[in-house]
Structure 1
Amino acid sequence: MPFTPLHLGVDACCKAIAPQRFSFMIFAGTQILMDLEPLFGMIYGWQYLHIITHNLLGASLIGCLAFLIGKPISEWVLQFILKYEDWRISWKTAAASALIGSYSHILLDAFMHHDVYFFYPWILKNPLSNLISYSALFYSCIFMAFIGTTIYLYQLKFKDKRT
């Protein structure tokens, strides 16, 4: 399944650590862009699903694309759909969210997929493949999502009581 929500565990932890300096939506959008290649690969029956976007160069390009389109799209969603007046995401926040999203994506996928090559096309090896079990990776991401969400919601509750 190319669009797994498990990567959002990292997202929740980043949002809890730096709520004003991290965009959940830009990170999530980056995850979707990263997994377009595996989606098309499944549709068209490609032998390898993680070659072009799941390496350092591809992740950098996807991160830059997500940075450029993620800021205006996210601000539009926040202002016009969710009705948050005067909501702005800084370019620095957009860049950090997109690049953390793309690099964490290939790191997590490298543990699970043999065809994630960090230095493609020069080195076709994945030293992280099968280093940890799928279930350990799965439950770690679920745990990160739970912890990150809990901390973020606690911060929101605490912030409301201080003001």
Structure 2
Amino acid sequence: MPFTPFHMGAGLAAKAAIDRHFSVLTFGIAQIAMDIEPLIGMIRDADVLHGPTHTYIGALAIGFAVILVSPFICRPILRRYNYEARAMRASWLACPEHLSKGAVALGAFIGTLSHVLLDSLMHADVRPFWPVSNSNPLLGLVSVDAVYQLCFWLGAASAIAWLVGKYRHGRENG
């Protein structure tokens, strides 16, 4: 799923489930980092768009890189987000500006590993278990349309659940 927002459905589900222990921004950064290789492949008109980065080993390496850069990217975004939430009198939506190392790590690794899993279901050039195997036993287990629908509805339901949880928590503490 290069360059689609659908991967974020998994990230929103994790955010709704474990909120402050998971950085959805880091998850998003991981999605972008994962799709750099397909972008380069598209620019170069390569036959294979999903190479080493779309393996579980490659995803772990990218996850570690995301852990290093994510705090520097997330802090100003969170600062601005919180400013806007407060300006719109929606302080209950504010988030901590300092992300724990655990939240960043979970965001990075759930982001990169789920990316490989989802892309394995739909792209013939993904070899998720390389170098152990060149096969992709996940390809075609479900239709591409089903993957998109799952990601969309999971994201929509999880975003609503997160908002309701934030609102309830804000009312209890406000």
Give me the TM-score of the superposition, normalised by structure 1.
Answer: 0.94
Q: Which deviates more from structure 2 when the two are superposed, residues 113-122 or residues 19-28? A: 113-122
5+ residue gaps, structure 2, are 84-93
| 1:98 maps to amino acid | A
Identity of aligned residues (%): 35
| Cα-to-partner distance string for 1:32-52 (whole Å, 9 max, x where unaligned) | 000011111011011111111
* Cα displacement (A) at 1:130: 1.1
CA gap 1:85/1:7 in 2 versus in 1, 3 angstroms: closer
8 Å CA contact retained: 1:51, 1:120:
no
Instruction: Choose the corresponding residue for 1:119, options 129, 138, 145.
Output: 129
Shift of 1:121: 3.2
Where do 5+ consecutive residues of structure 1 fail to align? Answer: none
Higher helix proportion = 2
Are 2:109 and 1:109 equivalent residues in the alignment? no
What CA deviation, in whole Å up to 9, does each residue of 1:124-161 have, x standing for no partner?
10001111101111110011011100100110111122
Taking the aligned partners of 1:162 and 1:90, their CA distance within structure 2 comes to 24
Instruction: State the one-letter code of the partner of 1:77.
Output: I
Deviations 1:100-121 (A, max 9, x none): 0000000000000011112223
- Write the mapping of 1:13-162 to structure 2, written as runs, cut at 5 A: 13-79=13-79, 81-82=80-81, 83=83, 87-162=97-172
Q: TM-score, normalised by structure 2?
A: 0.88
Number of aligned positions between the proteins: 162
Deviations 1:56-107 (A, max 9, x none): 111001100111101221013222x333797200111101110000000000
Measured in 2, the distance between the counterparts of 1:130 and 1:94 equals 32
Contact 2:129 2:136 (C-alpha < 8 Å) held by counterparts: no
